[in-house]
Chain A
Amino acid sequence: GAVVSQHPSWVICKSGTSVKIECRSLDFQATTMFWYRQFPKQSLMLMATSNEGSKATYEQGVEKDKFLINHASLTLSTLTVTSAHPEDSSFYICSAPDRGRETQYFGPGTRLLVL
């Protein structure tokens, strides 16, 4: 199957700092990528859709100024958590549809801990 990578795999930061997470499609081009967040014992919640060459679309309740998304190329999307706070601590996962857009492949996730 298609391969999607994320970097970093985990990050610990102080409250108030910004954290950038990268999502790359390694063997295919993705005009669309998705960013999810998962809190412990909960399911994945879609945060936003990252669109190559245009603005991201955010789900209801997700602050676009806090979670900045940039989809600069067909293989890279970044999520920046600005002014992170402890409540932003979570597991952030990106995904990208495969070539046939039949399904999505997930990156390995980034675990964020804000102290």
Chain B
Amino acid sequence: QKEVEQNSGPLSVPEGAIASLNCTYSDRGSQSFFWYRQYSGKSPELIMFIYSNGDKEDGRFTAQLNKASQYVSLLIRDSQPSDSATYLCAVENPGGGNKLTFGTGTQLKVEL
């Protein structure tokens, strides 16, 4: 059973702070990892994907991957109230086919 684990939160951070979202996965063969943001009542939207160990930065977002620890994280710098949403970690199933397994998501609240 492939599993993707996230803390459901809510994670509350003040505006302007760094929000750190974490995700662990069980299938050591996984190679591709994604972070999606989902606002209430809406479908997920892609924030970032990462394939290689280390950090990947895109604007205020940084994804971090450690395959040895089976751990992927998302940092949001200068958090804004508009960042308040549920963040879904997704892992592509090994073997191709683009199938994704999603975590349950972490609810982020950015407070004024």
Contacts and interface: CB of A to CB of B under 8 A. Distances in A.
Interface residues of A, number: 22
Interface string A86-97: 000001010001
A108 B42 contact: yes
Contacts, number: 47
The range of chain B's interface size is: 20 to 34
Interface of B: 32, 34, 36, 41-46, 49, 88, 97-105
Contacts of B103: 43
Interface stretch (A14-22, A70-78, A99-107): A99-107
Contact of A97 (B43, B44, B45, B98): B98
A43 B44 CA distance: 10
A43 B49 contact: no
A54 interface: no
A46 interface: yes
A101 B96 CA distance: 10
Contact of A49 (B44, B49, B99): B99
